[in-house]
Amino acid sequence: MSEAYDVVVIGSGPAGYVCAIKCAQLGLQTAIVESWTDGKGKPVFGGTCLNVGCIPSKALLDSSHKFAEARDHFGDHGIGIKSQSIDVSSMLARKNKIVSQLTGGVSSLLQHNGVTVVQGRGQLKAGRSVAVTDESGAVKELSATNVVLASGSEPINIPPAPVDNDVIVDSTGALEFDEVPERLGVIGAGVIGLELGSVWGRLGAEVVLFEALDSFLPMMDAQVSKEAAKVFKKQGLDIKLGARVVKTEVKKGGVTVTYSEKGEEVTAEFDRLIVAVGRKPRTQDLFTEDSGVTMDERGFVFVNDSCVTEAPGVWAIGDIVRGPMLAHKGSEEGVMVAERIHGKPVQLNYDCVPSIIYTHPEIAAVGKTEQELKAEGVDYKAGSFPFAAIGRALASGETDGFVKIIADAKTDRVLGAHAIGPAAADLVQQMVITMEFGGSAEDLQLMVFGHPTMSEAVHEAALAVDNMAIHMPNRKKR
């Protein structure tokens, strides 16, 4: 006989565990199914984000940034350090401690909120029945009024560079290098490639990134992408655009990479190679054909704007559905689904989901880019302001980059915001709030911003939208 619940959630990443907790808070009898274990049969919560993604990578980014600061910039402050060294094992131990603390915290939260944990691999069957197979092969049947699919994503592998988890690694393996490679190759100059390349580049590796596309960060505003390319080049990252890797050969002590560039094949030698060409939804064997759930040719589950699948009472959230693979997007989808299951018709505003690249400087964006608005024929106005003219940025030695705001030319409503520079993620979050409430550039112009703060760049960019910036010369009016 199966165990019955109001809600069964498959997957305990940021989308799944948030959804389960919210469902339980709303009084729904909730179970969460997780297949990841610690090797002792105990479930490990948090999914890719907490275990091998967002959190561990940010821990290493922070450690490597502090090392680079001490090496390259402490002298500017009159702080003398005769020599610097990095203890990679200690750095990794710190990362692992942070991961353990957060995943353990999720476990406690699930328990505190009364969510039943079921260890094993969950598969949705017809009639909202969920079969859970544990590590021993034993199967437990669960039934639910509602089932939420939240199985997350996994790295994409490519035939020219088969991952061996030794010399050629994916994004997970790149978090576990036991020493700094002298020469590091990275296939993919997107978010993951840039972040991982930055970590090891700061620690002394010579980093080369191979990007098959001819454009750099095409999903970002073109002005931001141009600035980012300039900054990363200055940091020593060698980003090769239009460079498609066609073959790799692992040899003793390294790997030879053959790539196509401008119609010619070129080879390069590396100690390690990271494959960071993106991620794919983890939907294989997630549901049976008679479950009623369907997906596209890439493995993404079909859902509507409210994350409802084509099967009654079945929902899907996070990385396995349309839209960017972002932990915060998945989490808020989890909240939305929980509320809708409980009867409250809330809706997530997908136009206000920010995207962030945690390099240094940070890159962040929300809403439309200039190139998107031009393609759509929207009449807009834009203003930007450099951190080089912000007192707090100068005092901190963080002068690269700018904040840019785009507003509708007729209504003045903010349509998009983009930033590269110190605290870019937090500054763009201010714009998320502005856009969520339908705010205008004038609203920001009339607000009081503390001084001296990085946020003043937001204020001045809003003023620049109407050619009224105070702390820089404005464009001449026509």
Q: Any idea which residues carry the catalytic annotation?
A: 451
Helix axes 88-112, 14-25, angle to 10 degrees: 30
Strands (E), 345-387: 355-357, 362-367, 380-386
**Dihedrals φ, ψ of 440, to 5°?**
-115, 170
Residues 6+ apart with CB under 8 A from 336: 306, 307, 346, 347, 348
Kindly tell me the sign of the dihedral angle through the C-alpha atoms of 9, 333, 430, 361. Answer: positive
Alpha helices (H) in 169-313, listed in sequence order: 191-202, 222-235
Q: How far apart are CA 338 and CA 348, in angstroms?
A: 12
SS (H, E, C) 269-322: EECEEEECCCEEECCCCCECHHHCCCECCCCCECCCCCCECCCCCEEECHHHCC
Q: How far apart are CA 319 and CA 13, in angstroms?
A: 10
Place of tokens 């915001």: 417
Q: How far apart are CA 267 and CA 256, in angstroms?
A: 7
Of the CA atoms within 13 Å of residue 391, those in its CB half-sphere come to 6
Q: Exposed/middle/buried for 312, CB within 10 Å: 0-12, 13-18, 19+?
A: exposed
- Residue length, the chain? 478
Amino acid making up residue 316: A
Q: Which of 267, 282, 38, 274 is nearest to 164 (CA)?
A: 274
Residues 6+ apart with CB under 8 A from 159: none
Q: Residue 244 in 3-state DSSP?
A: strand
How many other C-beta atoms lie within 10 A of the C-beta of residue 100? 14
Q: Which of 368, 382, 356, 373 is nearest to 465 (CA)?
A: 382
Amino acid making up residue 367: G
Any bridge partners for residue 3, and if so which?
142
Strands (E), 11-61: 30-34
Residues 6+ apart with CB under 8 A from 426: 454
